[in-house]
Amino acid sequence: MNGAKPRPTEIRLKTAEKLLVVSFDNGRVFELPAEYLRVESPSAEVQGHSPSQKQIVAGRRHVGIMKVETVGNYAVCLHFDDLHDTGLYSWDYLYELGTQRKARWQTYLEAVEAKGLSRDP
């Protein structure tokens, strides 16, 4: 790949399983749950404008993805069934979410618990 960033070769929505399956040109394949994608949304509403402003989004255990919309040749916009549809998931960000899933999910679970919140609606 000569140092090129991984690019998706396939993005498949598994609606019933509430998963987005993203295959990259370096052979990596990530199954990303809708709840994980929702709580890690790249939108300013979730991320804020700096790491200290990041919001903990609780109550999304059952969220699904209604539609995946390609944006140019660099990102997708995910339309969730809780009507959240802002924030562009760039190829780099999807790859980052895939490679860092375990650590990011653990951090999220700890934050939810620390704030006395729940993953359930």
32-75 pLDDT per residue, tens: 999 999 999 999 989 988 888 999 999 999 999 999 999 999 99
Q: Is the pLDDT of residue 1 over 60?
A: no
- Between CA 41 and CA 120 the distance in angstroms is 18
- What is the predicted pLDDT for the residue at 4? 85
List the domains of the chain with CATH numbers.
8-114 (3.30.2020.30)
Tens of pLDDT along 75-115?
999 999 999 999 999 999 999 999 999 999 999 999 999 99
What pLDDT is recorded for position 2?
57
What's the token pair of residue 26? 């370096």
